[in-house]
Amino acid sequence: MSLDSSDDDITAWLRARGRRKPMPHADRSRPLIASAAQRRLWFDSQLRSQAAADGGTIYHSTSALRIREEVDVTALRASVESLVARHETLRTRYVLTSEGHLSQLVDDEAQVKLHVEDCDGAEEVQRARMAEFFAADFDLERGPVLRAGLFTLHDQDHTLFLVIHHIATDGWSMDLLRRELGELYRSRVEGRAARLDEPAYQYADFAAWEQSENDRDAFADDLAYWRGQLAGAPQTLPFPADLPRPVERSFAAGCHRVDLPAATLDGIRRIAVECEASVFQTLLAAFQVLLARWSGQPDLIVGSVSANRRSAETEPIVGLFVNLLPIRGEVDESQSFAHLVTRTRDTVLHAYDHQGLSFDRLVDAVAPTRAPGHNPLVQAVFTLAEPAPAAGEAWGEPLEFRETTRTQFDLTFAAGPDGRGGLTVDAHFAADLFSSHAIERLAHRFTALLEQLTLRPHERLARVAAVTAPEAAELDGFATGAPRTGTPLVLDLFDRQVRERPDEEAVADGEVRLTYAQLDEQVDRVARLIGSRRPAGSTAIGVCLPRSATQVAAMLGVLRAGAVYLPLDPEYPAERLEHLLRDSRSPLVLTDAVNGPGPRWPAHVEVLDVSAAPPEGARAPVPGTGPGHPAYLIYTSGSTGQPKGVLVTHEGIGNFVSWYVDHYELTPHDRLSQLASPSFDAGLLDTLPALAAGARLTVLPDEVRLDPDRLWSRLAEEGVTVAFLTTPLFAAAAPHLPSGPLPLRSVQIGGDSLVHVPTRLPFTLDNLYGPTEATIAASCGRLEPGDRVHIGGPLRGMRVRVLDPWLRPVPAGAPGELFLAGPGVALGYVGRPGLTAGRFVPDPWAGDGSRMYRTGDRARWRADGRLEYLGRTDAQVKLRGHRIEPGEIEGVLASHPDVAEAAVELRTPSGGDAQLCAYVCLRPGADPRAVEEHAERALPAWMRPASYTVLPELPLTANGKVDRAALPTPTVRAAAFRAPAGPIEQLVAEVWQEVLGTERIGADDDFFRVGGHSLLATRVVSRLSQISGCRLPLRTVFDHPVLADLARELEEAVVAAATADGDLIG
């Protein structure tokens, strides 16, 4: 078998493998059943046309021929009639029987009349008339399914335009019709018999044969193959969409075309020959690489369109044979492209060997749940068109009709010959999801990728760039913060303020007020105390104090003594304190009388009351502290259960503080608040910038921090102008924002993901992002009211990169892992060299041997250079074959106006299956069921939480993040059975019982959760319409799958119909 450049050889190979008995003719004395493909398309057509006013046009197939000669209209009209007479499918209507089966009704006489219109030489008029001709609806029940129009510019310039509903045709058929119509016309004009054989079979014969094969389970092997092939495969592609996926798609589309030069195509052919593959299979393998990188998902499904004409008998038949094959690809970038081509070849050949099973049956077998807004299994398609027929075989010059701006799939790459030895690639995309700019980049990335692959087919894919050269330059610009002009030490900035404004207030802590001179005196006392008691060689000094002026002085005193500041929370249990002190090897702890010496402290640690520091004495000598020396040690949670100590330099904290002072234009007139726990680096953010700028720091009591209702009023009373709030605290307090003005001019948030931005903000709101390992924050984004949440770009001197597992920059829009570099990157983890080496990796973009920190966070660059945080790389969960981001569900829940906060976890109840569990905090008077209904409208079935637990507030960790381990056992509603009540509910229940073969149906049952699927929904609608006497739209079952809701819709439809007929008297 030779597989050169097209799939013609594949067709021949399949025929050789699939020899069988001749196809019998259908029994015309019985109703003619529709084929599986027709049933699927009819179902989707009904569903989509009811969802969008013009959604049905995605099933309008077109053929436009430009004829540059005088046209005999009479001969053309007769030729169209002869064409319709030759092919039954062009004069077939489609009717749903009372049993819910779709049947074909073939009319004896043609109903198609040639439409002729003179456009007076105006091409814009011609285009407009053709667009109207294209957009007109088809009534599949009444017919016809074909429209033919001749749109004339002048005697020697016409366009013959055929519009056929896809239920009656496919690409192969359209080519066949063009050729036959040309021969029929030429034979009439030339006065001879048409050189066309009479069709031996009609499409109804194929549909009957297919049904008989299905009845005898002839496709069982095909189904078994597909079940095995798709087992465990992700059923959705997580495209990096520019817009939120709508529940109801409009099917509006865009298209961007790129050219693939002849030289690149020649290279693809060489690879194909070497791998004994076709050009299609080679291009498909490259498309899989493109999508794997763009989506961040190496295991994916791409649709391939199969002609599905596996015998010579079917070749002359006009009809819908085409089948969609879900080709699964697993892109392993440690392997070469040639290796992937070989695997793709084998996968495609096996798929074609099992193409007889209709896509509809396949979907029902492996993915029974269909959700509006998602195509089942396949969201991306790749096609390669065959070369156009040789000159003289078809009449007229084929034209491209570009008004078909509808698409069924999220993304389709359609390649075809360009007439110059290369290919054109049309990237069709769903305008509901993607911007034209994003797809333009994706298409150019595809051609650049193909260029590289032809040059390096045997190298690891990981060595092939994931972005184009212009994209790489743009990403480097996104990643790099403004250059820094130097990094002053924090203590130097504080000392300058002491010299310049000694009598200005530095810290306000309730009744305690300290000027800069007084604070400096306390700082010096602490430094002298440390200097007198610290053993030689020790570095870390623990400070175990609550938020207070004393804690501020102790922190600065440790730094002045040249030691490393180690914050310890007084609320920590003794076991954790002991671990931190032993791990840090700290010999000294500064505390107060309340937390003084006692059994909670390890024996090796000396505990000093900071108030006992000598009040007088010479100023403590300042050691030679440099930018690279460690400044503080903060412990964060560890994946092993043990906290890990992060060691941060003076350069890192100095870079952040100087950026903060400049960015927020802090002056001595500003007042900042201290709200964060001193045990985390947010406590430094609260404190150090204020003292570096000569501003006043206000310490707010815990009762204010824990009471969102009082927060804004207390900040206003204290005259606070700049404040940092943890994200959960801000989310809880935002609904209580006062309507009047505030002295507060700027608020920063951080520490957790913000779900949505309030629509009204009386101050600027900045979202800070950065783990402890990057010194408080590495990026900052200004959020506008109602904005889509982002984390902005890198701080001054910092670099923020989004990389794939091979440390290559990913394209804008694509997800990747965040890596941070620059002066803020910590020295590492104390006493953990292995962990440090794994997380602090060499920076390939730095020429000085510096490192970058691997955050474990997922993010993507927006086109405007802003970062979007996507969650943790280890937070993604897999449930019943779907990869799910809980954060996406949390965002949907929190978008409901009655939801203050939301969290979603994957939990496995005792003895049960894993399920998504939602935890929501509702506003007063809210209805939990309304939130659940909101989620059902916005999320596909596999992303909907199985339980909703209402909490007064989400539990938080000490540093203000959601404490997911503390979320309670989910609330599971008892599945109490409620019998159908009233005649309408009972009628619906009887129909469900009949269709589903189930005896017990309750009023609260969901049709799709008790065994229903798309085809059974069709039967339900048919039966209910027949019994009630009013036509119920198919979509009603999908929009209202709960029995009681569907019954209510049916009742309203019956009343409306009776009112229209005058049967009801008001």
pLDDT reported for residue 876 = 64
Tell me the H-state helices in 456-515.
Answer: 469-479, 490-500
How many residues make up the chain in this entry?
1066
Place of tokens 């067709």: 11
Beta-carbon neighbour count of residue 909 at 10 Å?
A: 14
For residue 223, pLDDT over 80 is answered with yes
pLDDT bucket at 8, cuts 50 / 70 / 90? very low
The span from the CA of 539 to the CA of 566, in Å, is: 10
Evaluate if residue 676 carries a pLDDT over 90: no
Tens digits of per-residue pLDDT, 827-880?
999 999 999 999 999 999 998 889 999 999 999 999 999 999 988 787 666 665
Residue 301, pLDDT above cutoff 50:
yes
The more confidently predicted of residues 952 and 440 is 440
Adjacent-strand bridge partners of 535: none
Instruction: Flag whether pLDDT at 694 surpasses 60.
Output: yes
The average pLDDT across 465-489 equals 92
56, 138 Cβ separation under 8 angstroms: yes
pLDDT confidence bin for 911, thresholds 50/70/90? low
Q: Which helix (H) or strand (E) holds 86?
A: helix 73-86
Q: Is the pLDDT of residue 601 over 90?
A: no
- Rounded to 5°, the CA angle 870-875-881 comes to 100
Q: Which has more confidence, 231 or 655?
A: 655
Q: Which of 58-62, 504-508, 962-966 has the highest mean pLDDT?
A: 504-508
Helix segments in 275-423, DSSP class H:
279-295, 337-353, 359-366
Average pLDDT over residues 983-1002: 90
Q: What is the DSSP string of 919-987?
A: EEEEPTT--HHHHHHHHHHHS-GGGS-SEEEE-SS--B-TTSSB-GGGPPPPP----------HHHHHH
Contact between 979 and 986 (Cβ < 8 Å): no
Residue 13: pLDDT band with limits 50, 70, 90: very low
Q: Which long-range contacts (CB under 8 A, 24 or more apart) does 568-576 make?
A: 568/542, 568/543, 568/544, 568/679, 569/544, 569/677, 569/678, 569/679, 569/958, 570/544, 570/545, 570/546, 570/594, 570/595, 571/958, 572/679, 574/599, 574/600, 574/601, 576/643
pLDDT of residue 17: 45
DSSP 882: E
pLDDT for the residue 768: 96
DSSP 195-263: --PPPS--HHHHHHHHHHHHHTTTTHHHHHHHHHHHTT--SS-----SSPPPSS---BEEEEEEEE-HH
Query: Pick from 426, 353, 347: which is nearest to 383 by CA?
Result: 426
Eight-state DSSP code of residue 1002: -
By CB atoms closer than 10 A (0-12, 13-18, 19+), residue 467 is buried
Q: Is the pLDDT of residue 916 over 70?
A: yes
3-state secondary structure of 733: helix
Whether 509 and 555 have beta carbons less than 8 Å apart is answered as: no
Quick one: average pLDDT of 538-560?
A: 93
List the domains of the chain with CATH numbers: 31-207 (3.30.559.10), 231-309+317-389+399-464 (3.30.559.30), 475-489+645-872 (3.40.50.12780), 515-625 (3.40.50.980), 875-973 (3.30.300.30), 982-1061 (1.10.1200.10)
C-alpha radius of gyration, the chain, whole number: 35
Round the average pLDDT of the chain to a whole number and report it: 87
Confidence (pLDDT) at 125? 95
Give percent above pLDDT 70 in the chain.
Answer: 89
- pLDDT tens, 101-144? 899 999 988 789 999 999 999 999 999 999 999 989 899 999 99
What per-residue confidence (pLDDT) applies to 12? 45
Question: Looking at this protein, which amino acid is placed at residue 193?
Answer: A
Per-residue pLDDT at 56 exceeds 80: no
- Nearest Cα to Cα of residue 449 among 369, 303, 331, 316: 331
pLDDT digits (tens, 9 = 90+) for 253-295: 899 999 999 999 999 999 999 999 999 999 999 999 999 999 9
- Least confident range of 555-569, 874-888, 1014-1028: 874-888
**For the chain, percent helix, then strand, then coil, each to nearest 5?**
35, 20, 40
